[in-house]
Amino acid sequence: MTILDCAIIGGGPAGLTAGLYTTRGGLENVTMFEKGMPGGQITNSSEIENYPGVTGEITGMDLMMPWPAQCQKFGLKHEMVNVVRVTKSNDLFTIHQEDGTTVDAHSVIMGTGSSPRRAGFTGEKDFLGRGVSTCATCDGFFYKGKEVVVIGGGDTALEEALYLAKICSKVYLVHRRDTFRSAPNTVERIKKSENIELILNSFPDEVYGDSAGVTGLRVKNRDGESRDISVPGIFTFVGNDVNNQTLIQEDGTFLCDMNEQGQVIVDISMKTSVAGLFATGDMRIAAPKQVISAAGDGAVAALQAISYVDELLN
């Protein structure tokens, strides 16, 4: 059986860029394992304005559509299968697939990303991408001069609320407690911001709207009292779940070092604690969670993988 020079797990911007750079850089047997269509979370975005070189109206799907063909031009193969586990024995990695088959590889680049945690209110899924967002950097500009709601009480929620307050006329910050799980100086900045209104001890109940998108959010407090907030945009920041399941070994440990949030610990070269294993994009520590950053991770990891395989085999 042929041993892959590199196995890429995940077909988002990081995985696709890794596929482009590894194949164009000289690795001959490279396969990207992605159970669905390549592209990643960004394909759900209705409009992209902050990717360099992209002008005019373009959706996330439009942005990502040419990427797979570009990679395949240089020899990248795409296996539409679900990888359940990655293991390593001596110098060989084994890719365990859902159907029970395995593939061996000299190096592995992980790019399985993360999934924004749902807040769980009625209509959240229906209006995702049509007024409900999980990325202020991506979508905040669309609400310039308008009022929006931010849901959450951690560092990310408060930092994104401050970011949106510079763009939007008003930000309603909805949090289920009366205290925040954030740095004290960030909380102080929130309280001093004149256009941020705190709605504490409250939770989102239902988002509503029409065919054009969101028109408002109903929130409830602990006493069961309801309040309707008329806004076109709602940003939820209640955490992210790192898609790290494929790194879990049979004994329940992880293949490489992780932090408490389940993010893969990497150095500046995307190297993990395991030689030949690289992690990119949203699944790594300190990830900016932007398409361009993930693509950069993929390029860095690919160049490192090429050097690793060359040294291993020569």
By annotation, the residues acting in catalysis are 135, 138-139
Residue with tokens 């001959």: 28
Residue with tokens 């990207």: 32
Give dist(CA 252, CA 245) in Å, integer: 10
Structure tokens at 230: 């008329």
β-strands 147-151, 277-279 pairing = unpaired
Q: Which of 135, 116, 86 is nearest to 244 (CA)?
A: 86
Handedness of CA 221, 226, 231, 236 (dihedral sign): positive
Report CA-CA distances (Å) from 295 to 40, 145, 240, 280, 291. 11, 31, 20, 9, 6
Q: Which of 303, 311, 277, 270 is nearest to 21 (CA)?
A: 303
72-75's contacts with Cβ under 8 Å and 24+ in sequence apart are 74/20, 74/23, 74/24, 75/23, 75/28, 75/30
